[in-house]
A and B are shown apart, each in its own frame.
Chain A
Amino acid sequence: MSKPSDLVQGTLDLLVLKILALQPLHGWALSQRLKQISGEVLQVSDGSLYPALHKLEQQALVQAEWKPTENNRRAKFYSLTRLGRRHLAKEAANWERISTAISGVMRLTEV
């Protein structure tokens, strides 16, 4: 299995949605952004984006459209749907809550 083992399950979906919320992107560009933003901390094989993207499309959280790009080529651009936006807001709030809680626990000093 090529699922990124050190990535919390479902986090990849959240990251993808967050990046797509900024602007529609095709797969390769999305993977580049992911690497840039996360500063190479998140080790994800490029290809594992695709099962995630297709699953999000099935769930109607993103839509895809083939668009022409430079040099007479075309690429599949993914964009967030209204439902995706709502989902992202909910999941982000969730993430916020959990990570705050976990950081709180981690900041405890031993007595």
Chain B
Amino acid sequence: MRLENWMYTITLRLRLLFHRNAEGADLDEELRDHIDRQIEDNMKHGMGREEARLAALRAFGNPAVLREETRATWSWSGLEQLVRDLRIGARTLSRTPGFAMMAVLVMALGIGASVTLFTVVRGVLLKPLPFPDSDRLLLLCERSTYSAGGGDFPCNQVAGGVYGAWNKESTAFSSMALYSDDEVDLSASGNQLPETLDSASISWNLYQTLGVQPVLGRGFAPADDSLGANGTVVLSWSLWKRRFGGDPAVLNRTIYLDAKPYTVIGVMPAWFEFPNSTIQLWTPVYHEKPAKLMAALDYHDFRAVGRLKPGMTAAEATANLSTISRRLHDSQLDNPFIAAEASSRPLLEHLVGDVKRPLYVMLAATLCLLLIACLNVANLLVARTAARRKELAIRTALGGGRMRMLREHLTESFLLATAGGGAGLLLAYAAITWLLHSQYTMARSGSIHIDGIVAAFTLGVVALCAIISGLVSVLGSGSKQLLSALHESSRGYTTGGTGARLRRILLAAEVGLTVVLLMCSSLLVTSYQRLRATNLGCRTDNLLTMRINLPGARYRTPGPAPASFFDTLLRRVRALPGVDAAGFVTAVPGEGYYGDGGFTIAEHPPRARGKGTLAISRSADPEYFAAMSIPILRGRTFDDNQRLDRANEAIISESFAKKYFPGEDPIGKHLRLMDKQQLHQIVGVVGDTRYEIGEAPGPMQYYPLFAGDENYGTLVIRSSHNVEQLGTPVQKIIQSMDHDLPVSDVLTMDQLLGKNTFDQSFDAVLITGFAVLSLLLAAAGLFGVLSYMVAQRSSEIGLRMALGAQRGQVLRLMLADGLRPALIGLLFGLVGSTATTRLIKAMLYETRPLDPEVLVIVTTLMIASAVLACMVPAWRASRVDPMSVLRME
């Protein structure tokens, strides 16, 4: 094409884009000119003026239609139509701002909630781990049974010796590494206070196995990973920034962990969090742990991770490990705590294990909410379409195309959904910020953020909402019955058949979904309440707890140093004014499983080869039971002489006595601990306690704290009132005894339990939030639709009353009208929830999926809110003044 042609085309396009109105006027002039010329021509041929005009128009065709057709050939005409539709949509919506606000709000809630949940689910569950070829990474476990491995743990932790054998002999992995969680005390330095940090002990090759590199310095070398090596440590990015000001000169500096010197050799990248996000530093495991532990086959203390060789499947690799485990087990048949089999699972599955099900349940709940929101908006649109029936019928009669109206309809719901989506995205952003703030310890929380995929998901949800609500409402508008609509609108006595029926169906669906959500949420709430009300086996009020870890370098175990520290501490704490009692134990009820130990009973015949007995084990001081109000059922507490090597007493729990001493008196019998050949005489039986809320109490054995075997645990302080006030004076005592000793988790017993049941309460709160929202939405839907129907039927009601109907009758009629769909929905909802609540069964504690109490509460709540929503419009209907209504017609 030649240049001048280009110029012409470009100016034409630009004129059509920016001077469309002027071009339109030109077109009008062009068409008018044609007709004028034709008229003149006709008159020249002898027609009269009027006849000439009519003949010209007849020959020309419909000018309005031709004008539109010509304009349709112009460039940008798609854009023009879109702009026009949008303008019409915006104008219609702004005529009913209440409706528009309501619809946008409803959409925003639904979209916001689902975008938030999608973002979280994607970040936690769907994104692969941030390591190269992360699908080839496996968590390696021992499969423990009661006869081999000491309990029913399908994916038990790995013993150091077993890992050693696997690592040396297995041919299935290109690399295999070991890790375990620890806590270390970082000593004070400069003006920085000492603090307790979560750390991980790892084998030197963990970083290589995962496929990550430090951003600064180096990772561990094989030489660092041995008992004789100098201490080395790799810092997390956040610790480096926070404690060392992000100073690169930190490399080769010496820091003190548990009072031992370590050289800083590297800093990991900011995104690296392994095995979880609270880990602040890494040390080499063979340097940290005693050689005996690393060689043991029966101390299941570690986690192992392996990278599969190319072409190797997980099943083959696990079978390979199992043969090695079988050989180890068979080599020491008299030790019952060596597992005979291996198992494995994808590393991702292990890292997110606890949150997977709650997240999916939550996602399902939000999608439910979104659907309810869409139905609600559809319902509002249907009601409005019905109100505009007359207008639409007239437009159709004047030649408005069905497609064109459909497009207008969809544009309107697109406008609503887009506005709702924008607001929803803001909501989601706020919700995610809050979530990351309050749930920062959740697995993989670092990978949760709004990104392109989430934006695309939002767009998809918006489009889906627009289409669902738009199409449903168009289906309901029933413009096929054009004539009947025109007839009907002349006498407004009927309720407009299809529209009303569709609205009732939508309402019933909405109520049904709400019932399902309500059922799930009230089950979770009930379960949570029962969980919190569990009897732990001790009193939990007016108790203050704090966690103390004595550094092993200065408080070596077994030895006199930890024993005398705890003894002095307890004496000084008990002397404080306001302290009623104080005790110390390695872990209080509800704090977790902590340790267990294998034992034999000296008075009983030896068990069969390879059979062992195992119970949770605690070290406690003599006054611990009194301080916690754990009842002493028989015998007494530890004698005061139970110190260091002289310690030879034991106390057992009630279920221990029942299980291992059925029908005999345990007092005076002797326990022999597996790893120490010393005999302990049983001097007392105490009440059962639960090591974790939600777990059944199990056999428990207590040994004297002052034996000096343990150097960590929890201090408990009982006071008659305001126990929190004792926190500071007690911490001062600890500081004065060892100024380098940090104290963590200063919590009342109730706070400690709250912290440990935080996830459950979080789930319950979230899903309750969704349920309340959907209840509100369903009630709003009932209210809106019924109000509308009352307004539509006001003339009918007036007529009925003029013919003698009583107000009470009218009230009943209207109530029945609104409640029928609600009741049908309730029925379907209850049926639906029997299926869905089964899915959350695993999340419930002592609550059955069809808990009768919950069933009654939900049904009552739903009916009550339905009645409430129907009451106002029904009452308004019964107040209708028949004369004024009839006159209005």
Contacts and interface: CB of A to CB of B under 8 A. Distances in A.
Interface of A: 2, 26-28, 31-32, 45-48, 50-51, 54-55, 57-58, 60, 63, 66, 73, 75-76, 81-83
Contacts of A2: 61-62, 65-66, 69
Given A55-B73, A58-B74, A83-B5, A76 B61 contact: no
Contact of B38 (A26, A46, A50, A55): A46
A45 B8 contact: no
Contacts of A66: 26
Most A C-beta atoms less than 10 A away, residue of B27, B38, B70, B74: B70
Contact of A28 (B5, B26, B33, B61): B33
A82 to B, nearest CB: 6
B73 A54 contact: yes
B60 A58 contact: no
B75 interface: yes
Most B C-beta atoms less than 10 A away, residue of A47, A57, A81, A82: A47
B8 A27 contact: no
B12 A58 contact: yes
Contact of B61 (A48, A54, A83): A48
Contacts of B73: 51, 54-55, 58
A58 B1 CA distance: 14
B74 A82 contact: no
The 5 A-B pairs of least Cβ separation, nearest first, read A45-B61, A47-B61, A47-B66, A55-B73, A28-B37
A31 B70 CA distance: 16
A47 B60 contact: yes
30 contacts: A2-B66, A28-B34, A28-B37, A31-B34, A45-B61, A46-B60, A46-B61, A47-B34, A47-B61, A47-B62, A47-B66, A48-B61, A50-B30, A50-B31, A50-B66, A50-B69, A51-B69, A54-B27, A54-B74, A60-B1, A60-B8, A73-B33, A75-B30, A75-B33, A76-B30, A81-B8, A82-B1, A82-B2, A82-B5, A83-B1
B856 interface: no
Contacts of A73: 33
A63 B1 CA distance: 13
Nearest to B65: A2
B315 interface: no
Nearest to A52: B73
A31 to B, nearest CB: 7
B72 interface: yes
Contacts, number: 73
Given A50-B70, A57-B12, A76 B26 contact: yes
Nearest to A2: B61
A48 B34 contact: no
A58 B13 CA distance: 8
Most B C-beta atoms less than 10 A away, residue of A2, A46, A73: A46
B842 interface: no
A48 B66 contact: yes
A76 B62 CA distance: 20
B30 A27 contact: yes
- If over half of A's interface residues share one DSSP class (helix, strand or loop), that class is named, otherwise mixed; here it is helix
Most B C-beta atoms less than 10 A away, residue of A28, A48, A83: A28
Interface string B1-28: 1100100110010000000000000110
B765 to A, nearest CB: 61
B888 interface: no
Nearest to B71: A54
Interface in B295-348: none
Contact of B59 (A27, A46, A57): A46
Contacts of A47: 31, 34, 60-63, 66
Interface string B43-81: 000000000000000011111011001101111000000
- If over half of B's interface residues share one DSSP class (helix, strand or loop), that class is named, otherwise mixed; here it is helix
Nearest to A31: B34
Nearest to A61: B5
A63 B8 CA distance: 8
A109 B61 CA distance: 42
Given A28-B37, A57-B12, A58-B12, 17 more contacts: A2-B62, A2-B65, A2-B66, A26-B33, A28-B34, A31-B34, A45-B61, A47-B34, A47-B63, A48-B66, A50-B30, A50-B66, A50-B70, A58-B74, A60-B1, A60-B8, A76-B30
Contacts of A55: 73
A2 B34 CA distance: 17
B14 to A, nearest CB: 13
Nearest to A30: B34
A20 B37 CA distance: 19
A57 B59 CA distance: 24
A61 to B, nearest CB: 10
A26 B29 CA distance: 12
A83 to B, nearest CB: 6
A99 to B, nearest CB: 27
B33 A51 contact: no
Contacts of A76: 26, 30, 33
A27 B73 CA distance: 17
Nearest to A75: B33
A47 B75 CA distance: 20
Nearest to A60: B9
Contacts of B30: 27, 50, 75-76
Interface in B830-883: none
A57 B26 CA distance: 14
A81 B5 contact: yes
A104 to B, nearest CB: 36
Contacts of A45: 59-61
A57 B72 CA distance: 13
Nearest to B73: A55
A48 B72 CA distance: 13
Contacts of B2: 82
A73 B29 CA distance: 11
Interface string B212-228: 00000000000000000
A58 B71 CA distance: 11
Nearest to A35: B59
Given A46-B61, A76-B26, A83-B1, A51 B12 contact: no
B61 A27 contact: no
B716 to A, nearest CB: 86
A91 B15 CA distance: 30
A45 B685 CA distance: 109
Contacts of B70: 50-51, 54
A74 B475 CA distance: 51
A57 B34 CA distance: 18
B505 to A, nearest CB: 38
A27 B63 CA distance: 14
Contacts of A28: 33-34, 37-38
Nearest to A49: B34
Contacts of B1: 60, 82-83
B58 to A, nearest CB: 9
A46 B34 contact: yes
A29 to B, nearest CB: 8
A26 B38 CA distance: 13
Contacts of B74: 54, 58
Interface string B365-390: 00000000000000000000000000
A46 B38 CA distance: 10
A50 B27 CA distance: 9
A82 B265 CA distance: 77
Given A46-B60, A60-B9, A83-B1, A27 B33 contact: yes
Given A2-B65, A48-B66, A51-B70, A27 B75 contact: no
A60 B13 CA distance: 11
Nearest to B58: A45
A20 to B, nearest CB: 15
Contacts of A60: 1, 5, 8-9
Nearest to B8: A63
Contacts of B41: 32
